[in-house]
Structure 1
C-alpha cells in the first residue's frame, strides 16, 4: 500500500533555493514537506561560490546567517579576486575583498561599504547546503524526505495530488501548493507547460574539482598571495581557480576558446595544467568533473494555479558571482511570504499574482547583466596576446593597461551593490505607487530610495539594532512622526487580520533616508506604500497590499 503524505506546501528539491523556501515557510509556521532525490548526506555539486548580501539578509531573518558565515574558507583566508597569467603566474590586477575575520572591520577596498547588516560571504555550495539542511531539519513544521523522486502530479479544485517513489516504494502526496525547485531539468516546469527561451550557448566551460595539496605551498613559496578566486589570463588557455577549503581542494574552470564547442576536443589535463601554471610532474587528483554550457534562458511563466517554480527551474544563466543561486534565493523569499499569507487567510487569491509580476522582470534584467558581462569577459580573454607573458617595458605597459580594463570590468561583478540593493518591483498588483520613478542603478552602484517597490534602505537604530531586526514578520509601518495617529490604518489591517507592526523611528539617519513620515514595508523589506499622513482610504490600501484590491 502506498504511503500517504500531506502538507500545506510540498517543495520539490533540497538545493539552496528549495531549502530557503522551506525554511521561510516553516519559520512562518507553515506545514511544509521537502522531497529530494539525493540520499541524506550526499554532497551537492561544487557550484555556486558566493552568497550575496541580499541572500545573507534573508538568512539573518531566518536565524541562520551566522551559521552560514562560520562555514567555508578559514577565517583568515583572503577573499580577494586575483588576475594572473596563470594561478602560479605573474599578477596583473586584483580586487580586494575582506576575509571572513575582517568582514565587519575592514574599511578599505571596494567591498567594505555595504549598507547592510549582512555583507556578502564567499562560500561554496558544498558548505552552504548542509548548513541550510541542518537548520531546516530542526524546524518543527518541516519534514525532509531524501531519496524521494516526484514522478507526476495533478491539480484539483482545492489541492494538488502528487505521486512519488522512494527506494521502490510508492508515495501519494496531497498539498495546497506544490513548488518546483528542481533545477534546470525541472519536471515541475515541464508539467505546468512553462518553456525556456533566450540565448542557448554563451560560453563552454570544463569544470574540474581537484585535490592538489602542494598548490598553495607553491604559490606561497614564490611570494604569491592566496585568493578566493584566481583568474588565469594568457593567449594559450584562460580559466579560473576557486579556493574551496583554503587548503587543498580547488575548483578549476577552463574556458573553451570562442568557436570551440566540443568538450572532448580540449585535453582536460593539459588545460588544467596551463591554467594552474604547472608542469607534467605536478600531482593532483581529479575528484569530479562537469562540462557545462553557459546560457541565458528564462521561463515564460512561473505558475500554473497552485503550482509554482523557483530558481534554476525558471531561469538559467552564466553563473557569474553566484547570480543564479542568489536570484533563486530571492525567488524563494518572495514566494514564501505570499504563500503563507494565502494559507493564513488574510492574503486574498490576488496576492499570489505578485510572484510572477515581481520576479519575472527582475529575473530577465539580471540575466542580461550576467550575459553582458559574459560577452565582455569573452571579448577581453579573446584579445589577450602573447605579450602578456613577455618581459620588458612594452609588456609591462600592456599588462598595466589590461589590468585596468579587467579591474574596471569585474569590480562591479564582485562588488555588485546595485544587484543587491538597487532593484525594485515595478508593476506589482500589491504595491501602491505614487508616481515617483525609482532611481536608476547599475550592477555595481545604486541610490538608496523609499520609492514603492524598492528595498527599504538599511539603518542602524539607536540601540545598534538593525532596522530589519526590529521589524515584524509581515507588514511593518515605520512612523517617523509619533504624533501621527495611525489607528485608522491599524484598525483597517486588524479588521481583515493582516499582521501589522508599528515601529517608531527617531534618528538623524532615518530623517535623511526616509523623506516620508509613514512607510509601509513588506516582510521582504520592499516598500509597499508611503505617505506623510494616513491614507484617505485605509481599507482600500490594506486591500491592495493583501491582494484583494486594485491600485488603479
Structure 2
C-alpha cells in the first residue's frame, strides 16, 4: 500500500515482521551497523519454536561469526561428542546400509577426514535444532543496542509513502493498537506471509512435491536399542515405510519424518503410530510420547518479486522448497545478510537509491536456482523410496548384495546434500548492478562441488592469516580492498571513498601459507557479505566512477581493472 509523503517522526529505521532466525539475524546485523530496529513477533518472548530446522550451513556460520554469536551456537545442541553422521539403515534399529561421516562438535574444527572436512572455511557447518538455535539468536538480538522487540504483536496493516512505512501494530494480549513508523519494512513472516500478500507479490512454481507426516517424539528407550555408532540423522529404508529420524538432544528426543507415498494425499489417512514403529523398527510394546505434530508439504515456490518500494520480503516469505541440504533457513539468512548491508548503505547515506535494486537482482535468481536443486533432489529421493527391494531385510548373500547396492547408491546420492560444498561456497551473483563484470566466467554452480574463484560475484576464497585469524575477520562494514601487492598505490580509491562517505577498509593480508591459486590479481574489492565486487592489477582510470557504481549512485558501469 502506498500513500503520499508523511512528516511523522520515525520510531525505527527498519521494522521487521517476524522474529524467527531470519528476522533475528537481520535485526542483529542492522543493529550492529548502528540502526534502530523494531521486531514484531506473534509469539511470546522465549516461546519455543518448532523443530523444523536441524542444520546451520558453513556460510551461515561464517556470517554468525561476524555477528559475534557463532561460538555460543557451537557450544549448543547435541552433546559435544555426539557424531553428526548420516546413516542409512533398513530401520532405525535395523541393519546399517551406509554412513556419511560428519564430525561432532568436539572435533568439528580438527577432523578433516570426512567428505566435508576439506572445506576452506573458518566455520564448518553445525548440526543444531531450531529449538536450541533460535533462543540464542533471540538473546543475542535482544542484547543489541537499538533493537526493540514487540512480542505477541501482529502487524495488522501498513502503508508506505515517499519517506517511510507506517504500520499498525496489534497487541494480541490486550487488543490495543499503536502506530509505528519506520523508513523500511521487511517481511520475515514465513510461508503464509501477510507482508508478501500486502505488497502484491506471488509465489510461483510447484505447489506440491511431497508430503511428510512429521512427529516430534520423546522415546527414552530408543537409544539403548541402537547397536551401531550414534548418528545425527538416520534414514530408514524398507518396503513398509521410508522415513528420516533426527536426533534432537542425543538422548531421548527425536524428530520422525514419515515420507508419504505420492498417492497418499491425506495426512490423517496414514496411520501415524504404525508408521513411526515401522520406521523405528519397534513393536507395539515400545513406549514413546508425541510432543508435537510437525506435518509439512514440500514445495518449490519463489516469489515473483522481493521488493515493493520500501517493503521487502526475505526467508520463507520469499521462497519455499523441500528443505534438502538444510537450505530453507540458511537461504533465508543469506537473504538477511544481503539485505542488511544494502539497507545500511542507504540509511547511512552513502548508498544511492539504486543500491537497493541489488537485493532482488542478486537473491531472486539464486533462490530460483537453489529451489530447482532441492526439487530435483527430492524427486530422486522419491524414486529411490519407490524402488526399495522387497527383500532388503532378508538373509543370505543375495540380500547382502542388494543392501550393499542400495547403500552405495544412497551414499552417492545424498553425500552431495549433506556435504554440499557447492551450495555453501559456489553460488555467485551475476547480472548485479553492484558487480563489475570483467568478462571471466564464474565456475559452474552445483549442489555438491565448487571451485574457488575470485571472478566478480563469487565468494572471496577463504585463507588463514599469519596471525591465526581468518581473512573474513578483516572485512569491514562496507567494502574492503584486499591489496595483495602492497606496492600498488590505492590513495586515489581511498580519496574517492572519502568523498562518497563510503566505508572502505584497506588491508594488506599476510597469509599463513601460500595464497589460494584463485588470487591472481593484485587488488580485490570485497563486500561485507564476502562477495567479490571488482578485481584488477591496478586501479581503474576513474576510481570515483567505480565506487559510484558500487554505491548504487551511477547507471554507468566501469571497465575492469
Aligned length: 546
Task: Select which of 310, 314, 317 maps to 1:310.
Answer: 314
TM-score, length basis structure 2 = 0.96
**1:511 Cα deviation from its structure 2 partner:** 6.5
Task: Select which of 159, 173, 178 maps to 1:171.
Answer: 178
**1:505 Cα deviation from its structure 2 partner:** 2.7
Kept in 2, the 8 Å contact 1:468–1:525? The answer is yes
Match of 1:120 in 2: 125
Deviations 1:470-516 (A, max 9, x none): 22222100001111110111101110100001001344533733100
Counterparts of 1:509 and 1:548 in 2: how far apart (Å)?
A: 37
Kept in 2, the 8 Å contact 1:431–1:551? The answer is no
Match of 1:328 in 2: 332
Match of 2:4 in 1: none
**1:132 Cα deviation from its structure 2 partner:** 0.2
Counterparts of 1:10 and 1:447 in 2: how far apart (Å)?
A: 38
Match of 1:423 in 2: 427
Match of 1:20 in 2: 25
**1:370 Cα deviation from its structure 2 partner:** 0.4
Task: Select which of 195, 205, 209 maps to 1:198.
Answer: 205
Q: Match of 2:214, SS? A: strand
> Is residue 2:455 matched to residue 1:448?
no
Match of 2:3 in 1: none
Q: Match of 2:392, SS? A: helix
Match of 1:457 in 2: 461
Q: Match of 1:442, SS? A: coil
Change (3 A) 1:213 1:532: same
Match of 1:37 in 2: 42
Kept in 2, the 8 Å contact 1:430–1:551? The answer is no
> Is residue 2:191 matched to residue 1:184?
yes
> Is residue 2:84 matched to residue 1:55?
no
**1:32 Cα deviation from its structure 2 partner:** 0.4
Counterparts of 1:21 and 1:468 in 2: how far apart (Å)?
A: 19
Kept in 2, the 8 Å contact 1:429–1:551? The answer is no
Q: Match of 2:357, SS? A: helix
Match of 2:6 in 1: none
> Is residue 2:525 matched to residue 1:520?
yes
Match of 1:145 in 2: 150
Q: Superposed, which structure 2 residues align to 1:222-261 within 5 Å?
A: 223-261=227-265
> Is residue 2:103 matched to residue 1:101?
no
**1:141 Cα deviation from its structure 2 partner:** 1.1
Kept in 1, the 8 Å contact 2:17–2:186? The answer is yes
Kept in 2, the 8 Å contact 1:55–1:329? The answer is yes
> Is residue 2:416 matched to residue 1:409?
no
Counterparts of 1:411 and 1:376 in 2: how far apart (Å)?
A: 13
Task: Select which of 267, 274, 298 maps to 1:270.
Answer: 274
**1:387 Cα deviation from its structure 2 partner:** 1.3
Kept in 2, the 8 Å contact 1:10–1:34? The answer is yes
Which region of structure 1 is more displaced relative to structure 2, 468-477 or 60-69?
Answer: 468-477
Runs of 4+ in 1 over 2 A off after TM superposition: 505-513
Kept in 2, the 8 Å contact 1:74–1:245? The answer is yes
Q: Superposed, which structure 2 residues align to 1:309-388 within 5 Å?
A: 309-388=313-392
Counterparts of 1:275 and 1:246 in 2: how far apart (Å)?
A: 18
Match of 2:220 in 1: 213
> Is residue 2:69 matched to residue 1:64?
yes
Kept in 2, the 8 Å contact 1:5–1:171? The answer is no
**1:34 Cα deviation from its structure 2 partner:** 0.5
Kept in 1, the 8 Å contact 2:461–2:516? The answer is no
> Is residue 2:554 matched to residue 1:549?
yes
Kept in 2, the 8 Å contact 1:200–1:295? The answer is yes
Q: Match of 1:122, SS? A: coil
Deviations 1:337-391 (A, max 9, x none): 0000000000000000000000000000100110000000000010002111111
Counterparts of 1:489 and 1:523 in 2: how far apart (Å)?
A: 17
Change (3 A) 1:199 1:373: same
Counterparts of 2:385 and 2:180 in 1: how far apart (Å)?
A: 50
Counterparts of 2:169 and 2:183 in 1: how far apart (Å)?
A: 17
Match of 2:5 in 1: none
Deviations 1:297-344 (A, max 9, x none): 000000000000000001000011321100000000000000000000
Q: Match of 2:517, SS? A: helix
Counterparts of 1:511 and 1:9 in 2: how far apart (Å)?
A: 39
Unaligned runs of 5+ in 1: none
